[in-house]
Amino acid sequence: MDFIWCCFVRRVKPQDHVAEFSTEKKVRLFFYNELKTATENFCSSNKSGRGGFGTVYKGILRDGTAIAAKVLSAESKQGVNEFLTEIDVITNVKHPNLVQLIGCCVEGKHRILVYEYVENSSLDRALLGFRSQKVKFNWDIRSAICIGTAKGIAYLHEGVQPQIVHRDIKASNILLDKNFRPKIGDFGLAKLFPDNVTHISTRVAGTTGYLAPEYAMQGQLTKNADIYSFGVLVLEIISGRSSSMPYRETDKLLLEWTWQLYEEGKLKNLVDPALVDYPEEEVLRFIKVALFCTQAAARRRPSMGQVIHMLSKPTRLNEKELTRPGLIPESKNAVSSNSTYSITEFSRSPLTHTQMAPR
């Protein structure tokens, strides 16, 4: 046998620099040499990406199974904590739009997560990468990626106990299978939310451009932070542009530029020029849903269940309820957990929408 099944219930000594791993979950343990063989000694030609605190390699197990082996940086104390968090969060959490964890290696100093292999790499490479890496996505593929990702987040927020906040929803963490079905990966920053907890005050972690203002500036983490990040992601998918790169014409970042176009009634200008023959009304609805998700007042953002409904069906959005997006002021790249940020308060009435009559 090349692997064993292990039930993790352990308390690690402080000098091991490893977070306590207290949940009882069965994990398939791989031997280091098996993964070394599968990845051809972690050959650079098998490198498929680099995530937070680790490099990812494609490998083939002896039974022919394709895997993605995420090798933790050896000297990273923070990375080891993240490694154990990722096992704790995703083991036994299964959904078509989440990357499946197969097992791990904890042999000696080696820390390796073993995932299912996803054929079409990450969304940021396929859609936002260099021209040679880009894939020509039609609207059907883009809309399916939006809805599939929404379903994955909704499952984390509403389908498991305790509920999970991912904390790092972004294009590079959305992987695409051979049919371009999206799968959310990289759970190292995720937080578990017991039923009786509404928010957590925590060290800010995530990616500039996707961070909700109340989280980036105050460290207040709720499910609304994921919803904000998802809204930004939808704008990237529709525009084909990165949220962190200013538009040359205006020197504004994607979200700010989108709001300006909305106020001017020119949302069509946001659509990726490479996207042709698209249903205009549906695309504009997706953009407006993204703006609802990124509102400055976190409590005004819809739940992911509402988001799925609005994206999946021809609904008429109540735009009177739509308020300005939340933007990190001035230096849009500065993120500090010690900073303070005042979010303008708006009416607390819930988001409403009415379903359009079918044609």
Q: Which domain holds residue 40?
A: 3-116
User: What is the predicted pLDDT for the residue at 334?
Assistant: 40
- State yes or no: pLDDT of 346 exceeds 90: no
Which of 116, 135, 161 is at the close of a domain? Answer: 116
Q: Does one domain contain both 100 and 222? A: no
Same domain, 65 and 137: no
Return the bridge partners of 114, or none: 69, 103
| 223 lies in the same domain as 244 | yes
Strand partners, 354: 316
Q: CB-based burial of residue 111 (10 Å sphere; 0-12 exposed, 13-18 middle, 19+ buried)?
A: buried
Residue 48 has pLDDT above 90, yes or no: no
**162 and 194 assigned to the same domain:** yes
pLDDT band for position 155 (50/70/90)?
A: very high
pLDDT > 90 fraction of the chain, expressed in percent and rounded: 48
* Neighbour-count burial of 161, counting CB atoms closer than 10 A to its CB (0-12 exposed, 13-18 middle, 19+ buried): exposed
Q: Are residues 106 and 157 in the same domain?
A: no
Q: Are 258 and 236 in contact (CB under 8 A)?
A: no
69 and 84 share one domain:
yes
Token representation of residue 144? 């399916």
Q: 316: which strand partners?
A: 354
Same-domain pairing of 228 and 94: no
| 98 and 177 part of one domain | no
**Residue 332 is encoded by which pair of tokens?**
């849009």
* Same domain flag for 24 and 88: yes
Q: What is the pLDDT of residues 2-41, one digit of tens each?
A: 555 555 544 444 334 444 444 456 678 899 999 999 999 9
Q: What pLDDT shows up at residue 354?
A: 47
- How far is 230 from 236, CA to CA, in rounded Å? 10
Q: How high does pLDDT run on average in the chain?
A: 80
- Does one domain contain both 188 and 257? yes
User: Which residues are 29's β-sheet partners?
Assistant: 4, 104
Residue 121: per-residue pLDDT = 83
| pTM recorded for the entire structure | 0.81
Residue 333 shares a structural domain with residue 288: yes
| More confident call, 24 vs 264 | 264
Question: Which residue among 61, 94, 116 closes a domain?
Answer: 116
Each residue of 96-152: pLDDT tens digit?
Answer: 999 998 988 988 888 898 999 999 889 988 887 765 456 789 999 999 999 999 999
> pLDDT confidence of 76, banded at 50, 70, 90?
low
* 3-state helix/strand/coil string of the chain: CCEEEEEEEECCCHHHCCCCEEEEEEEEEECHHHHHHHCCCCCHHHEEEEECCEEEEEEECCCCCEEEEEEECCCCHHHHHHHHHHHHHHCCCCCCCECCEEEEECCCCCCEEEEECCCCCEHHHHHHCCCCCCCCCCHHHHHHHHHHHHHHHHHHHHHCCCEEECCCCCHHHEEECCCCCEEECCCCCCEEECCCCCCEECCCCCCCCCCCHHHHHHCEECHHHHHHHHHHHHHHHHHCCCCCCCCCCCCCCHHHHHHHHHHHCCHHHHCCCCCCCCCHHHHHHHHHHHHHHCECCHHHCCCHHHHHHHHHCCEEECHHHCCCECCCCCCCCCCCCCCCCCCCCCCCCCCCEEECCCC
pLDDT of residue 230: 98
| Domain boundary, last residue among 96, 116, 136 | 116
- Where residue 13 sits, what CATH number does that domain have? 3.30.200.20
pLDDT reading at 178 higher than 80? yes
Catalytic-residue membership of 177: no
CATH of the domain at 292: 1.10.510.10
The residue behind tokens 């964890």 is: 101
Q: Compute the distance between CA of residue 43 and CA of residue 137 in angstroms, rounded to an integer.
A: 31
pLDDT confidence of 78, banded at 50, 70, 90? low
Tell me the torsion sign for CA atoms 102, 221, 283, 349.
positive
pLDDT at 214: 82
Whether residue 340 sits in one domain with residue 293: yes
Residue 186: closest CA among 230, 247, 122, 241: 122
**Count of domains forming the chain:** 2
The Cα–Cα gap between 44 and 277 comes to 40
Out of 168, 186, 226, 272, which one is annotated catalytic?
A: 168
Q: What's the pLDDT score for residue 341?
A: 34
The pLDDT assigned to 264 comes to 97
DSSP letter at 296? S
